[in-house]
Structure 1
Amino acid sequence: MTALAVALLAVVLVVAVTRPRGLPEAAAAVPAAAIVLVTGLLATDKAWDEVRELGPTVGFLAAVLVLAHLADAEGVFRWAGGLLAHHSRHRPRRLFVLVVLAATLTTTVLSLDATVVLLTPVVLHTARRIGARPAPHAFACAHLANSGSLLLPVANLTNLLALQASGLTFLGFAALMLLPQLAVLLVEYVGLRLTFRDDLAAPADADGPDEEEASVPRVALVVLAATLLGFAAASPLGIEPVWVAVAGAVVLAVRTLITRRTRVRDVVAAASPLFCLFVLALGVVVAAVTDRGLGALVAALLPTGTSFTALLGLAAIAAVLANVVNNLPATLILLAALGPSPAVGAVLAVLIGVNVGPNLTPVGSLATLLWRRVLADRGVPAPLGTFTVAGLATVPAAVLAGTAALALVV
């Protein structure tokens, strides 16, 4: 039975990674979850508990995806692209710094999916607009979508799972992750700057006219800022982040639909209901694998305590596991292995591993896979060799630096 559970998880991940014939990720996950229940790999009550626990997290994901879509419809990313082009002054190195900052901010406020799906195309267009080589800026988006998602719980689905397991408040989470996030960002900047030094040294060769700058999307920016403040204010009151995200999405949706910048069906599609279903089904399959022995095996490998050595071991194992089974299943497995009342430091060390680790290989996170498709659609190469070199230049040092910073605050 254990072999069947592992095989089902493998099939789900392969389909999610490759998406044969354009099939959605849920195409394999939902049948796999059904097989888990029919064969008794996981009791129905346990499956329901898993779905119920993941429900608010998945609801939040859908709301943030809608919020990002509405921000895009309001012109937030077109406006951001204009700022990048203007303030870069046609200097590739200056644009690179701005892209790192923009990707970090977008990931922090609107989640890594917004950075991959919405910001990356804008960055590619901006690089071409000023005549810069696209690779450094494209890879900055990919790396910062993953490793730039440590600061706030809303930045990554893995963060929401960790927040729930740790028992921290929104502001408590941010306070503990501020120093690790800064340490990781410093390593990312230096590592990527060195990896793409030749591309960044090449002079810009833009010869086209400057584009008209987009107007400032004031309403959208105010709603986004209010939503972010709402996350911080709601947490001490025991209000789930999902309700704040829904409120922000509803407010912005009313304006965007009235002004016909988007349509109802586009808003529904932006919520990505099939992907949300995939996450729930994946949770059931992972729970079955964990229940059938993998959880005990992983738990036996995990170091105990919250010393720097223990935290580094947890982060390293999490990074490796993320590149083997993808970071979302890795998070579910590791949090289950830590037990019902894990130490806060242990949870956050695991988070560093599953968020930073995926930059080592293209299969480490679904966001990275999606980023590769965004680049392919626009004719921008993302060679495996380049991805590996950039990963080796950043991931080991970023995991070490982030964990060392974490050890200072927990």
Structure 2
Amino acid sequence: MAIYITLGVFSVSLALIVWKPKGIHEAITALAGALLLFAARLLTPEDAAYIWGFVWNATFSLIGIMLFTSLLDRNGFFRWAALHIVNRFHHKQVRLLIGLLLLTACTTIFFNNDGTILIMIPIVLEVTALLQLSRTAKIAFLLGIGLMADTASAPLMMSNLTNIITAEFFHISFGEYARHMLIPGMTAIAATIAVTVMFFGRRIRAEERRDAAPQTFPDGASAIVDRRLFKISWMIIGMMMAGYLFSSKVHIPVSAIALASAAVQWAASAWAGQTDFRKTAARAPWLIIVFALSMKLIVYSMYIHGAVDWFPRVLESVVSHGQLAGILGSGILFSLLAAGVNNLPAVLVSSLAIEQIHGQAYLPFASLLGTSVGAKLSPIGSLATLLWLQLLYRGGITMTWREYMKYGLLFTFPILACALVALWLIGIQE
């Protein structure tokens, strides 16, 4: 009976998340599902403690990075970079798209995918409005940014919550992670640019009308509120990167590095007289964190009551046909799981399954590609995509799930395949 109840709660929760009756936030729906399982005694406080032990480091890392990027954004840090690109390429919109995609990739790599969405989407909405682009061209820019926010999250450990969770579960250091994932991650970035330009390039070029575009955009330097703080921020970012690199050697959790960097940036912003802690804290997507934790609890309940017992068996079968077939097959399997239940619960199930079958050394990295790149298959696949949809709606652009799925299926598999082949080519030893 327990297995049917857990499956029922998950199915109803997922249906309500998709339907969103009366605009109820998906976090509220997921939390209600988790509480229902606690009430039915299909989840216990011990289960919640186990899940918290699994995700606390990643959760506090997300909070720290969100606060840090919010403070940088208040000083115009990311708008400064975007305006440089826009001023240079606004008459050549395909080049503009590529420039904004590269900026998105850099922001994701050195901060994280969720923060990138919060930063880049308002900028791109503003730019596309000034360029008087059609809805199709706006979707090209916005979809490219949304894709890149997740596909660029593979190269470094702190770029995605799934990376931190997986690395901690399998005891992968920052350096070891980068050694294995840098090439596949950069391949995913290049493939994202290629696929986006191939699909939308002709439509964007058709709208390159110099008379419709404004003659000038604000100068990049005008975006910086305080130049001294701007220079200090670069030093703080450098120290944060060094902290990540040496964190495993001195046994400091990555969340401590993220929170400490946010604290130093806040102190510097306060010194510059431009910070408001309440406004900064309010910009963090707290409900998205509630959604992630609640979905993890729902999926974990399915796991402990046998609803996903099939997954390790399927995974073991997939990886039994050699390394190339194993990497491609497992990567696709992990991506389908992430698309169906969200990548954070998916990484929990994937990690437990890999441990259960004593899986090959490449499996944690194939899982990371599947649950970051492959998560773009569906709107609920990642927190970044949920944030992306919310920001589009606030910006006056409505995208249905059907429309998103069309793009998700078309774009995701080629990008994922390129990244997985790159993982195979680097030759991870068994």
TM-score by length of 2: 0.87
Rounded Cα–Cα distance in structure 2 between residues aligned with 1:80 and 1:124: 16
AA aligned to 1:153 is M
Q: Percent identity, aligned pairs only?
A: 24
Per-residue deviation, residues 277-314 of structure 1 (Å, max 9, x unmatched) = 43333322221111111332111111336711111111
2:217 is the counterpart of 1:210: yes
Rounded Cα–Cα distance in structure 2 between residues aligned with 1:385 and 1:292: 32
AA aligned to 1:219 is I
Rounded Cα–Cα distance in structure 1 between residues aligned with 2:239 and 2:325: 40
SS of the residue corresponding to residue 370 of structure 1 reads helix
The question of whether the paired residues in 1 share the 8 Å contact of 2:334 and 2:370 is answered with yes
Rounded Cα–Cα distance in structure 2 between residues aligned with 1:97 and 1:193: 8
2:335 is the counterpart of 1:319: yes
Q: CA deviation at 1:106?
A: 1.0
Q: CA deviation at 1:192?
A: 0.9
Rounded Cα–Cα distance in structure 1 between residues aligned with 2:348 and 2:360: 16
2:319 is the counterpart of 1:304: yes
Rounded Cα–Cα distance in structure 1 between residues aligned with 2:407 and 2:160: 22
Per-residue deviation, residues 327-371 of structure 1 (Å, max 9, x unmatched) = 222222222222266544111111211211233333322321321
1:6-17 alignment to 2 at 5 Å? 6-17=7-18
Partner of 2:240: 227
Rounded Cα–Cα distance in structure 2 between residues aligned with 1:166 and 1:147: 22
AA aligned to 2:214 is D
Rounded Cα–Cα distance in structure 2 between residues aligned with 1:278 and 1:360: 19
The question of whether the paired residues in 1 share the 8 Å contact of 2:319 and 2:325 is answered with no
**Bigger Cα displacement from structure 2, 194-203 vs 32-41:** 32-41
2:81 is the counterpart of 1:93: no
Q: CA deviation at 1:129?
A: 3.6
Structure 2, unpaired ranges of 5+: none
Partner of 2:106: 105
- Of 393, 405, 408, 1:391 maps to 408
SS of the residue corresponding to residue 362 of structure 2 reads helix
Residues 19 and 238 (structure 1), Cα distance of their counterparts in 2 relative to 1, 3 Å cut: farther
The question of whether the paired residues in 1 share the 8 Å contact of 2:335 and 2:375 is answered with yes
AA aligned to 1:320 is L
SS of the residue corresponding to residue 304 of structure 1 reads helix
Rounded Cα–Cα distance in structure 2 between residues aligned with 1:249 and 1:167: 25
1:188-203 alignment to 2 at 5 Å? 188-202=192-206, 203=208
2:266 is the counterpart of 1:253: yes
- Of 418, 422, 428, 1:401 maps to 418
Q: CA deviation at 1:130?
A: 4.6
Q: CA deviation at 1:138?
A: 1.2
SS of the residue corresponding to residue 167 of structure 1 reads coil
AA aligned to 1:134 is K
Partner of 1:269: 282
AA aligned to 1:348 is F
The question of whether the paired residues in 2 share the 8 Å contact of 1:47 and 1:287 is answered with no
Residues 277 and 13 (structure 1), Cα distance of their counterparts in 2 relative to 1, 3 Å cut: same
The question of whether the paired residues in 1 share the 8 Å contact of 2:82 and 2:103 is answered with no
Residues 13 and 106 (structure 1), Cα distance of their counterparts in 2 relative to 1, 3 Å cut: farther
Rounded Cα–Cα distance in structure 1 between residues aligned with 2:219 and 2:35: 53
Per-residue deviation, residues 109-168 of structure 1 (Å, max 9, x unmatched) = 121112211112112323344555423221111110111111112111111121122211
Rounded Cα–Cα distance in structure 1 between residues aligned with 2:341 and 2:130: 38
Aligned length, in residue pairs: 410
The question of whether the paired residues in 2 share the 8 Å contact of 1:128 and 1:206 is answered with no
**RMSD of aligned C-alpha atoms?**
2.4
Q: CA deviation at 1:72?
A: 0.9
1:32-71 alignment to 2 at 5 Å? 32-71=33-72
The question of whether the paired residues in 2 share the 8 Å contact of 1:372 and 1:382 is answered with yes
SS of the residue corresponding to residue 359 of structure 1 reads helix
The question of whether the paired residues in 2 share the 8 Å contact of 1:195 and 1:389 is answered with no
Rounded Cα–Cα distance in structure 1 between residues aligned with 2:26 and 2:258: 24
**Bigger Cα displacement from structure 2, 180-189 vs 63-72:** 180-189
Rounded Cα–Cα distance in structure 2 between residues aligned with 1:274 and 1:377: 17
Structure 1, unpaired ranges of 5+: none
1:334-373 alignment to 2 at 5 Å? 334-339=350-355, 342-373=359-390
Residues 23 and 255 (structure 1), Cα distance of their counterparts in 2 relative to 1, 3 Å cut: farther
Per-residue deviation, residues 2-25 of structure 1 (Å, max 9, x unmatched) = 111122223444455555445444
AA aligned to 2:172 is L
Partner of 2:299: 286
Residues 404 and 377 (structure 1), Cα distance of their counterparts in 2 relative to 1, 3 Å cut: same
Rounded Cα–Cα distance in structure 2 between residues aligned with 1:169 and 1:93: 38
Rounded Cα–Cα distance in structure 1 between residues aligned with 2:325 and 2:261: 41
- Of 153, 156, 159, 1:152 maps to 156
Rounded Cα–Cα distance in structure 2 between residues aligned with 1:47 and 1:154: 24
The question of whether the paired residues in 2 share the 8 Å contact of 1:81 and 1:126 is answered with no
